[in-house]
Structure 1
Amino acid sequence: MVPERVSLITIGAFNLPKLRTFYQELGWEENDISSDHYAAFKTAGVILSIFPIEELAKDAGVQINHDKDTFKGITLAINVDKREQVDATIEEIRRVGGNILREPSDAFWGGRTAYFADPENNLWEVAWNPASVFDERGAMLSF
């Protein structure tokens, strides 16, 4: 059986220092192993790491799509505790230079949502779902 967990998400970076700075400016705490060649940020549920895309592709044995503006077919999410936190979070992301793709709006499913892209077009959703349940660390348990 494959364990039902996501423990680490790695984003392949074209410009690691620039991408690392963006996440630092969000106020995210880095793990002690972070350096100019690898960055790891502590989050409520998983570790978010940033690694040079060339090295990541070599490690996985795949080719790189050098068009960083192409949608990669994946989004990451920051789920918040309160409706108003969606708007406040998007304003902070805007302040540090995130590209707001969709302004905060009420969702058809009863929550509130918005989207942004980091400097390398990795897509993130900021969402509030009234049915979400979080543990004491802030990790989402259900929605």
Structure 2
Amino acid sequence: MDPRLSFVTLVVHDLRATRRFYVDGLGWEPALEAAGEVLMFQVGERVVLSLWDETSAVQEIGPVTRGGTPPVTLSHNVATTAEVDTALDAARRAGAASVSDPVQREWGGYSGYFVDPDGFRWEIAYNPGDIGQRVLP
């Protein structure tokens, strides 16, 4: 099996609120939308972010637990530190539950975080290293 990630699926509590945040707030264009069930975005050449309504998800995957900080972060890498600031400002305007100001990181990058309506943490990062540059369009 080759190393590949095709879909990242996040189970969301309120798909309408999630849609308002990502589509209306951040301006993302859905690649597929099944009203009340799922909202999908093409987030890479061959990667889809799927936001799945909890009621529909539970029918397929079983019980979903809530509470605390999910032990995962998502990262959106950009080419400059100014783009980090711009993206975090957009998340703030879209109504992100929390936004941490970006800082210079000990690993050489510059990043900050926002929290979406379901508590998922997104890192907005400028990573000057080879691996950070490799993921840019």
TM over 0.5: yes
Q: In structure 2, how many angstroms separate the alpha carbons of the residues matched to 1:72 and 1:66? A: 8
Q: Judge which range, 9-18 or 99-108, deviates more.
A: 99-108
In the alignment, residue 9 of structure 1 is paired with which amino acid? V
Conserved? CA contact 1:10–1:51, under 8 Å: yes
Report the counterpart of residue 56 of structure 1 in structure 2: 57
Say yes or no: does 1:8 pair with 2:7.
Answer: yes
Gaps of 5+ in 1: 139-143
Count of aligned pairs between the two proteins? 132
Say yes or no: does 1:30 pair with 2:21.
Answer: no
Report SS of the residue matched to 1:126. strand
Task: Report how far residue 64 of structure 1 moved.
Answer: 1.8
Percent sequence identity over aligned pairs? 29
Q: In structure 1, how many angstroms separate the alpha carbons of the residues matched to 2:88 and 2:13? A: 24
Conserved? CA contact 1:13–1:50, under 8 Å: yes
Gaps of 5+ in 2: none
Q: In structure 1, how many angstroms separate the alpha carbons of the residues matched to 2:14 and 2:77? A: 27
Shift in CA distance, 105/4, structure 1 to aligned 2, threshold 3 Å? same
Q: Judge which range, 93-102 or 111-120, deviates more.
A: 93-102
The alignment's TM-score, normalised by the length of structure 2, stands at: 0.87
Report the counterpart of residue 90 of structure 1 in structure 2: 88
Conserved? CA contact 2:92–2:99, under 8 Å: no
Task: Report how far residue 72 of structure 1 moved.
Answer: 1.2
Deviations 1:62-86 (A, max 9, x none): x22143xx21101101011111111
Report SS of the residue matched to 1:102. strand
Question: Which contiguous aligned blocks of 4+ residues in structure 1 show a shift greater than 3 angstroms?
Answer: none
**RMSD (Å) for aligned C-alpha atoms:** 1.7
Shift in CA distance, 18/77, structure 1 to aligned 2, threshold 3 Å? same
